[in-house]
Chains A and B, each alone.
Chain A
Amino acid sequence: MAPQFTRMTSHAALLLVGDIDTDQIIPARFLKVTSKEGLGANLFSNWRYDAGGAPRPEFSLNRPDAAGAKILIAGPNFGCGSSREHAPWALVDWGLRAVIAPSFADIFRNNALKNGLVPVELERAAHTRLVAACEVDPRLPITVDLEREIVEWPGQAPLGFSVERFARRCLLEGTDELGILLSLAPEIAAYEAARP
């Protein structure tokens, strides 16, 4: 049940906008759901579809090149705003497994890791080089390796990125975080007993 991620190679979809907030990722009108499935159809809905509901051909995720992409490349402060975990659910349901950006908002980063969506923080210069390489070759195969904590693509030496140690271990092992918390039952009971 817990997600697992070791490494993955895929081409990327590009959405080079900064401060993409979770209302753009999944607008609030799509949060009226009681399950996690099917949100991919509404991913970036306000940008992706026109007033009549038809896909806008110029939106990057609608372009033929983006089909099947497991990586999204975005601008800084990705995932800011609302804490809705529906944002990573929608991204994952669409088919994404990693987002590469210069920075991420905290709550989003945390939610993404819990859903097997790896937030890859790449410093500016490297991010710019990657974008340039993708613009030359939209099907550029990019490898995100969580075990070695590197990103690489043809013509680029491996670039390091860092994921918090525990979150990385959970993803590599497919560890269920709730299982870890439940195993702390004695400590929780002791804490509660000491505080009326």
Chain B
Amino acid sequence: MPKTMPKTMFEKIWADHVVAQRPDEPIALYIDLHLVHEVTSPQAFDGLRRRGLTVRRPDRTVATMDHSVPTAAGPARGRIPILDAGAAAQVAQLETNCAEFGVRLYARGSDWQGIVHLIGPELGLTRPGMTIVCGDSHTSTHGAFGALAFGIGTSEVEHVLATQCLLQRKPKTMRIDVSGRLGPGVTAKDLILAIIAEIGVGGGTGQVIEYAGPAVRALSMEERMTVCNMSIEAGARAGLIAPDDITFAYLEGREYAPAGAAWDAAVAAWQKLPSDEGAAFDRAVEIDGGALEPMITFGTHPGTGIALGAPVPDPADVADADARVGLTRALSYMDLEPGRPLLGHKVDLVFVGSCTNSRVSDLRLAARILDGRKVSPEVRMLVVPGSQEVKRQAEAEGLDLVFRGAGAEWREPGCSMCIAMNGDELRPGEYAVSTSNRNFEGRQGKGGRTFLASPLTAAAAAVSGRIVDPRTLL
């Protein structure tokens, strides 16, 4: 029997999903799960209609509404009217499309509505070894389960709806090994911000990242999702973490997870997924997990993370001309002085939410800081649970009472201020500490200024009215 080459987890999943490999064409890759939301799907469904096509696998297609939905509390699970005409039309169009094409939709008012990258795992739809796509770049989140999950554009949404396949060129691979263990007050969010700062916003372009090492193994599923979520911010195609007992324990018993004999068979198959000993990656990076500190971004892309106590970089110290120009521009937009740490910088708004950090463990971290304290009178704090399920769990644990008691707003699920499409937004010039994933110019509102950080750092800023090290409040 010839000895086979050791394979990476990515290669195993890729090979298992090749439908066709015609000469001079990219391979056709089968997609196990297609997640859909209201912003990137209308034109795709229209395309199907124009060609007289149906959705090939409605049973592998799941939709929700998240980007444009209001998060203000209201009756009947927040089904308040959407005031923006465009957003209302999009949401209505999604309802029409799902009804017409037979796609399961977790609409507002449903027990399981929420941000698309939360509901997949919650429902047990996201599983190891799968290929998963969505018209949203944070689809990389699902890689936490050992799935190959990536974002696609609306044309590709149409392709998947029609054929359940995509034409794909095989990316390269990168392995990121995180040694040691994250210290007290250092979270998965700080880890991924440190990784992106290390490899850069273009560092992962053309590659699929596998996160490995003892610090990664020690993360919970929710923490793994935070890490994989921001893989796209490093330019990576996808990010994966090998499944293990922590993964299986999370999935067991969920609504669409296999059960009985099928569960045992699934686990046996999943246990074969991790990368083989000696499998080769195109690039390897090492991160010392034990040396990490709480992070915060200072600039206008997610690669600008620095340790909380570190000084904002000075353009005068930057050799590369382009990088110097970019840094000067960012400092001007953010109105920051180089050479000083961000500690003590005033804050106008704190947002705890987004597909990066809106799960119940994230809310528990924020609640730890807020318990027995008050949000500073100069700060507006929004806490937006990522899904109805997170909201239920949080309320069962009394976290909502902690948030409200401290003077924070406890909201309905949705993408909210991460993308500011639903009326939750910054005013020009306002500074926010945000647990979301992007600090681009105007991302959270035209002229808004975003500091990305962990739920601990965000909550600490809310209480202090300024950026502070959360470890001083723990």
Chain A residues within 8 Å of B, Cβ to Cβ? 17-19, 21, 23-24, 27-29, 31-36, 46, 51, 75-77, 80-86, 103, 105-107, 110-111, 114-115, 164-166, 169, 177-178, 180-182, 184-185, 187-188, 191-192
How distant is the Cα of A77 from the Cα of B446 in the complex, in angstroms?
A: 22
Residues of B within 8 A of A75 (CB): 322
From 39 to 66 in chain B, residues with beta carbon under 8 angstroms from any chain A beta carbon are 39-40, 42-43, 46-47, 51, 53, 56
Interface residues of B, CB < 8 Å — how many? 66
- 20 extra interchain contacts, Cβ-Cβ under 8 A, other than A110-B156, A166-B169? A19-B326, A23-B443, A24-B440, A31-B67, A32-B89, A34-B93, A46-B446, A51-B428, A77-B201, A81-B233, A83-B137, A105-B235, A107-B137, A111-B153, A115-B155, A181-B28, A181-B159, A181-B165, A182-B53, A184-B28
Is B24 within 8 A of A31, CB to CB? no
Chain B residues within 8 Å of A, Cβ to Cβ? 19-20, 24-26, 28, 30, 39-40, 42-43, 46-47, 51, 53, 56, 67-68, 84, 86-87, 89-90, 93, 135-137, 151-156, 158-159, 162-167, 169, 201-202, 205-206, 232-233, 235, 237, 301, 322-323, 325-326, 329, 419-421, 428, 438, 440-443, 446
Residues of B within 8 A of A192 (CB): 30, 164
How distant is the Cα of A61 from the Cα of B326 in the complex, in angstroms?
A: 19
Is B90 within 8 A of A182, CB to CB? no
Q: Which of B164, B202, B419, B443 contacts A105 (CB 8 A)?
A: B202
Q: Which of B19, B163, B202, B301 contacts A182 (CB 8 A)?
A: B163
How distant is the Cα of A108 from the Cα of B144 in the complex, in angstroms?
A: 24
How distant is the Cα of A103 from the Cα of B56 in the complex, in angstroms?
A: 36
Chain A: CB-nearest residue to B25: A166
User: In the complex, what's the smallest C-beta–C-beta distance from B310 to chain A, in angstroms?
Assistant: 21
Is B153 within 8 A of A76, CB to CB? no
Residues of B within 8 A of A191 (CB): 19, 30
- 24 A–B contact pairs at CB < 8 A? A28-B419, A28-B443, A32-B86, A32-B89, A32-B421, A34-B46, A35-B42, A35-B43, A46-B446, A80-B301, A82-B438, A85-B135, A105-B205, A106-B235, A107-B152, A107-B232, A111-B153, A164-B169, A165-B24, A166-B25, A178-B51, A182-B53, A185-B163, A188-B163
How distant is the Cα of A35 from the Cα of B47 in the complex, in angstroms?
A: 10
How distant is the Cα of A188 from the Cα of B164 in the complex, in angstroms?
A: 8
Is B202 within 8 A of A77, CB to CB? yes
Chain A: CB-nearest residue to B320: A18
User: In the complex, what's the smallest C-beta–C-beta distance from A117 to chain B, in angstroms?
Assistant: 12
Residues of B within 8 A of A187 (CB): 19-20, 28
Q: Which of A28, A51, A81, A110 contacts B420 (CB 8 A)?
A: A28
Residues of B within 8 A of A105 (CB): 202, 205, 235
Can you list the 8 inter-chain pairs with the closest CB atoms, starting with the nearest?
A32-B86, A85-B153, A34-B42, A83-B151, A111-B153, A83-B137, A187-B20, A181-B163
Chain A: CB-nearest residue to B137: A83
Residues of A within 8 A of B442 (CB): 23-24, 27, 46
